[in-house]
Structure 1
Amino acid sequence: MDVNRDGFIDVSDLKAIHNDLGRNPSDKDLNEMLKECPGQLNFTAFLTLFGEKMHGTDSETTFRQAFEQFDPEKKGKLSEEYVKDLLLNVGDQFKEEEIRQVWKEAKPHGGLFDYDAFVTLVKRGPQDEMAQ
């Protein structure tokens, strides 16, 4: 995600992320997106901004169903360690710093990652997640 590993998301990083999702936004659109953030765009701000811009992508239901594949009891929560292991070892593997950024927003409690709240956060932003 952070191609040059400087801790911030820039236009080239946004372009790579969108390309991975099969989208091809213009540089103008990407620059407009970055202008919506005060200061540099870190991972936390990226989650909110990207969630707002994900029109036409998977619905919240589809996003939740993806998490449910790892939650056979459909409790809406997964072990924090299990999620960390998935992020480190499956698919596009996260770095430890990226996981710390996710935890800042996802705020696991009692060793559990609430993926329902996380999906709401990513898809709607922090205000809606806080209201639920």
Structure 2
Amino acid sequence: MTYAIAAALQTAIYTRLTADPALAAITGPAIYDALPAGPLPPLYVLLGQEEVRDASDQTGFGADHAISILVLSEASGFASAKAAAAAICDALLGAALPLTRGTLVSLNFTKAKAARTNTANQRQITLIFRARVADDV
């Protein structure tokens, strides 16, 4: 197993999302790897947790990453959050994501959950993607 590609994968996903014009039209620049200080916009995207499992084989080291991407909205309904979630899927699925280390073998959508949070009137959609990476080292 290797966790050595995790930073390169996260950077590639973040770069792809921040460069996507369709997502930017919905969220503006509010796509975060870490939450900024101060007040947050009413709709934003946040890279979430990651769970990694070994996917090494006889050809080399590799890993399966379960990656969470959150869409948070203060709107009274889910429409704007769902539009952002759809744009995230469109931006990532089928995209060539160059990594600074290793190779992205596949990136697939696994599941999503839309829910109200404990924060007053906030909606959250959690998207889960599965990325399979191989280490070229």
TM-score (normalised: structure 1): 0.30
Q: Tell me which protein shows more helix as a share of its residues.
A: 1
Q: Tell me which protein shows more strand as a share of its residues.
A: 2
Higher-Rg structure is 2
TM-score (normalised: structure 2): 0.29
